[in-house]
Amino acid sequence: MKSLFKFISKEKASLLPKVSGVYSFWDERDILYIGKAVDLRERVKNHFQNPSFKDTLFLHKVKKIGYLKTNAEIEALILEAKLIKEYQPKFNILWRDSKNYFFVAITKEEFPRVFLTHQKIIKKEAPEVEIEYIGPFVDGRALKKTLYLLRKIFPYFSSKKHPSKKCQWCHLNLCPGPKPNKKEYQENINKLKEVLKGKRSFVLKELKKEMKKLAREERFEEASKIKDQIFALEKIFENAKIFEREIGKETNWKDIENKLKDILKVKKISKIEAFDISQIQGKFAVGSMVVFKDGKLNKKLYRRFKIKFTKKPSDFDMIKEIIERRLKHKEWDYPEIILIDGGKGQLNCAKSVKDKYVDLKDKIKIISLAKPQKQLFVEGKKEPFLLKNLSREIFNVILTLDKEAHRFAISYHKKLREKDYFQNID
């Protein structure tokens, strides 16, 4: 076990690499805890600088830190689960049976189903069949993202009965359809299992061998499908971003607040609201509002808006509408900062609405993020900031809020589309 990790003393944690990977805390000779991170240095530092209640139970015992660098976040997620299962660290096991830990459950049927579950409720999910489960995984959100990406490569069933026609997952290329090839389906499930167990290299090797065999037999269409799977699998292990960047948790919020106050020229920042729009050619147009309060995202305060504009709306019209509707709600408490997705035009639209509220004119500052250049426009300032030129902490805060607003808008948009689809299905 020890030979797997590179070690550093607790006092030298600031020398850990700033890359994704898995870390472990040790006393004199035993492993206490295993975790994963998108940034090993920041994550380990956070344990000591902002300890949770769980951290306080073992941090005083830590003498050294072991770490393993990974090439990708997905690799770190899977390696973390593999090592926790194999080595049973004392303080991971203490919490493993709580509902904070997750398993990928795979039924042993003619056409196996795959679903996410807590270990304790597996029998309730599928009491009539035998189940293999892979885990434990600590980060449920990252696991869901990983399964979504892998399902695009190895489509699978998540429910027992499939309708006679294509389901919603079929249209997203996540389901094999009503009548899949049994052998091909089972092979895909086996490959999915191996990847989730940390045997990606083995799966890639087998896929390449299979592709070459099919090409030799001049079964080029089948060989092309395998080639696509190889390419997709390699790509997600290189590029996929699956971990939540918990702003305010991995950094000192007071430091970030002071830097933001200096850049935006405001006296106080206790609350930031970020807004985004999602639509397809004006259909199912929605807006989202996410809230960053006292150094962390507060999902209880999130709001979503179904666009009411009767004509074919532009982005500017929709921004005006959702900002107008938001500002009418005094009971939600106003933020000091409003972040809009878009450029100078979108910022001016939001500002024109805010300025109608005389008492808010100087109490709320509007900023906007224009992509792909990642330019940050600030109300009252002629030239934008380039996000890359700001501190890493500011970069992370702005980008995380923008992405979270986008994610929340998209999720509502998809919900409306799916509702419409099922209402109009034959």
User: Which CATH number do you get for residue 71?
Assistant: 3.40.1440.10
Residue numbers of the domain that contains 365: 253-424
pLDDT interval class at 139 (50, 70, 90): confident
Q: What is the DSSP string of 60-108?
A: GG--EEEEEE-SSHHHHHHHHHHHHHHH--HHHHHHHTSTT-EEEEEE-
pLDDT at position 378 is: 96
Residue 65 near residue 26 (C-beta atoms within 8 A): yes
Residue 266 placed within a domain: yes
Alpha-carbon dihedral sign for residues 102, 103, 104, 108: negative
Q: Domain ends where: 96, 125, 155?
A: 96
Residues 62 and 135 in one domain: no
Residue 230 lies in a domain: no
What total of structural domains would you count in the chain? 3
Which of 139-143, 233-237, 283-287, 362-366 has the lowest average pLDDT?
283-287
Considering the domain architecture, whether residues 111 and 74 belong to the same structural domain is answered as no
256 has a pLDDT exceeding 70:
yes
pLDDT cut 90: percent of the chain above it: 51
Q: Both tokens of residue 190?
A: 């086996």
% the chain with pLDDT above 70 = 87
Q: Is residue 213 part of a domain?
A: no
Q: How far is CA 223 from the centre of its chain?
A: 32
Q: Region 49-64: what's the mean pLDDT?
A: 85
H or E stretch at 340: strand 337-341
Where does a domain end: 51, 66, 96? 96
Is residue 231, in this structure, part of any structural domain at all? Answer: no
Q: Which candidate, 38, 32, 43, places its Cα nearest to that of 87?
A: 32
Beta strands 6-9; 31-37: pairing state: unpaired
- Same structural domain, 25 and 133: no
For the cut 60, the answer to whether the pLDDT of residue 408 exceeds it is: yes
Tens-digit pLDDT profile for residues 308-335 = 865 666 788 889 999 999 999 999 999 9
217 assigned to some structural domain? no
At 390, which CATH number? 3.30.420.340
So what's the pLDDT on residue 275? 94
Res 313: pLDDT: 62
Q: Same structural domain for residues 274 and 382?
A: yes
Specify whether 319 is located in the same domain as 354: yes
Cα distance between residue 288 and residue 273, in whole Å: 10
**Among the listed residues 212, 219, 349, 206, the one whose alpha carbon sits nearest the alpha carbon of residue 277:** 349
Residue 46 scores a pLDDT above 70: yes
Distance (Å, whole) CA 91 – CA 55:
9
Q: Which residues are within 8 A (CB) of 96 and not within 5 positions of it... i.e. 6 or more apart?
A: 84, 119, 136
- pLDDT on residue 356: 92
Mark which of 74, 96, 118 sits at the end of a domain.
96
Same domain (yes/no): 45, 110:
no
Average pLDDT over residues 362-380: 91
Mean pLDDT for all residues in the chain: 85
Partners of 369 in beta bridges: 341, 376
Question: Cβ(367)–Cβ(338) under 8 Å?
Answer: yes
Name the nearest CA neighbour of 290 among 400, 390, 365.
400
Residue 271 shares a structural domain with residue 129: no
Residue 148 has pLDDT above 70, yes or no: yes
Query: Does residue 219 fall inside a structural domain?
Result: no
Beta bridge partners of residue 287, listed in sequence order: 277, 305
Same domain, 290 and 406: yes
Determine the pLDDT at residue 296: 85
pLDDT at residue 394, as a whole number: 87
45 & 132 share domain? no
332 falls within a domain? yes
Give the C-alpha separation, 244 to 299, whole Å.
14
**DSSP states of 114-143:** EEEE-GGGHHHH-TTS-EEEEEEES-HHHH
Do 142 and 91 lie in one domain? The reply is no
- Interior angle at CA 135, CA 131 and CA 141, nearest 5: 110
Higher per-residue confidence, 160 vs 419: 160
Q: How confident is the model at residue 420 (pLDDT cuts 50, 70, 90)?
A: very low
Residue 168 is assigned to a structural domain of this protein: yes
Looking at the fold, whether 121 and 85 belong to one and the same domain comes out as no
Structure tokens at 120: 């304790």
Same domain? For 296 and 393 the reply is yes
Statement: the pTM of the whole predicted model exceeds 0.85: no
Q: Is the pLDDT of residue 422 over 50?
A: no
